[in-house]
């Protein structure tokens, strides 16, 4: 796992992370990113819960469904902490997916299933979520506060 | 970071989740509960008092374990969720699937 600090200016901090496509790296990658985002933009509560959970979700999805655990592929995380918001981009090398086709996991027929809650949880943790057209890159925005 | 396992005098197994329950460590929790289930334990409390965050894989493993424990005639209860984690369970409607107590002591008392 490689962290590269791309900017540290008066208006914020930016860095990138390259994470191997192995789910055992998720915890450490989230921890590393959260520590570098601890610059006062987000409250401690949102930093320790919303940001960590959202990044864990996005990263796990990219490793499992995007790169399909392929050890030759990396997941790329770009983070920019600005005074108004923290913006996180997570990209994989997969074929992408259509987020509108993901079923609602809170319906009675899905409630007792083990999987399928990731995107639903992600949407509730961040202020904005956007996918690129291909569906292999997600951009998460947590506004300051 | 990790899991602690203890047993109360009545044989209820309490598993404490220290740090996070996510895709990278959910299997460890699953194995601990399944090992106890295999050993005859039927009553479980998962204690989140020291837990910072849970991702959807963590939620999923709890759903799966609860089902397995129920199939064996047992009961798995949750305790110690902070406000954010409680909200997560409510958003996903998993609060309707689990008995959730404020503290491990309350969860134990409810058995």
A57: CATH: 3.30.565.10
Overall domain count for chain A: 1
Q: Hey, is the C-beta of A43 within 8 angstroms of any chain B C-beta?
A: no
Q: Which two tokens stand for residue A132?
A: 């690129």
CB atoms within 10 A of CB A52: 23
Q: Which of A19, A24, A26 would best serve as a mutation to test chain B binding (most B beta carbons within 10 A)?
A: A26
* pLDDT value, residue A98: 87
* pLDDT value, residue A8: 64
CB atoms within 10 A of CB A124: 14
Q: Hey, is the C-beta of A3 within 8 angstroms of any chain B C-beta?
A: no
Q: Domain segments of chain B: what residues? A: 2-109
- Per-residue pLDDT tens over the stretch A56-91: 999 999 999 999 999 899 999 999 999 999 999 999
- Closest residue, chain A, to B20 (C-alpha): A27
Decide if domain B2-109 falls under CATH 1.20.1530.20: no
- Per-residue pLDDT tens over the stretch A91-112: 999 998 888 888 999 999 999 9
Residues 6+ apart with CB under 8 A from B68: B33, B34, B37
Residues 6+ apart with CB under 8 A from B75: B42, B43, B44, B69, B99, B111
Interface A-B: count of C-beta contacts within 8 A: 77
What band does A136 get if pLDDT is binned at 50, 70 and 90?
Answer: very high
Domain that holds residue A63: 2-143
Q: Which of B17, B51, B55 would best serve as a mutation to test chain A binding (most A beta carbons within 10 A)?
A: B55
Which residue, among B89, B74, B82, B76, has the nearest Cα to B30 in the 3D structure? B76
Q: Is the pLDDT of residue A54 over 80?
A: yes
Contact B23 A60 (CB under 8 A): yes
């Amino acid at each position: 796992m490689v962290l590269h600090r791309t900017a540290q200016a008066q208006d914020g901090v930016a860095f990138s992370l390259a994470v191997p496509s192995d789910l055992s790296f998720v915890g450490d990658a989230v921890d590393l990113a959260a520590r570098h985002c601890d610059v006062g933009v987000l409250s401690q509560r949102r930093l320790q819960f919303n940001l960590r959970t959202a990044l864990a979700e996005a990263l796990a999805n990219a490793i499992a469904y995007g790169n399909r655990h392929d050890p030759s592929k990396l997941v790329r995380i770009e983070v920019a902490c600005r005074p108004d918001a923290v913006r996180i981009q997570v990209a994989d090398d997969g074929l992408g997916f259509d987020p509108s086709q993901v079923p609602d996991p809170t319906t009675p027929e899905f409630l007792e299933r083990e999987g399928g809650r990731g995107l639903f949880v992600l949407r509730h943790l961040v202020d904005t979520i956007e996918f690129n057209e291909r569906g292999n890159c997600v951009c998460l925005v947590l506004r300051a506060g | 970071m990790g899991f602690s396992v203890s047993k109360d005098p009545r044989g209820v197994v309490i598993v404490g989740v220290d740090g996070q329950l996510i895709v990278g460590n959910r299997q460890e929790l699953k194995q601990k509960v399944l090992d106890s289930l295999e050993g005859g334990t039927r009553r479980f409390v998962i204690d989140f008092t020291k837990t910072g965050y849970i991702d959807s894989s963590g939620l999923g493993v709890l759903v799966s374990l609860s089902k397995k424990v129920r199939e064996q005639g047992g009961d798995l209860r949750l305790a110690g969720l902070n406000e954010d984690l409680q909200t997560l369970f409510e958003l996903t409607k998993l609060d309707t699937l689990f008995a959730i107590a404020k503290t491990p002591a309350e969860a134990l008392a409810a058995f």
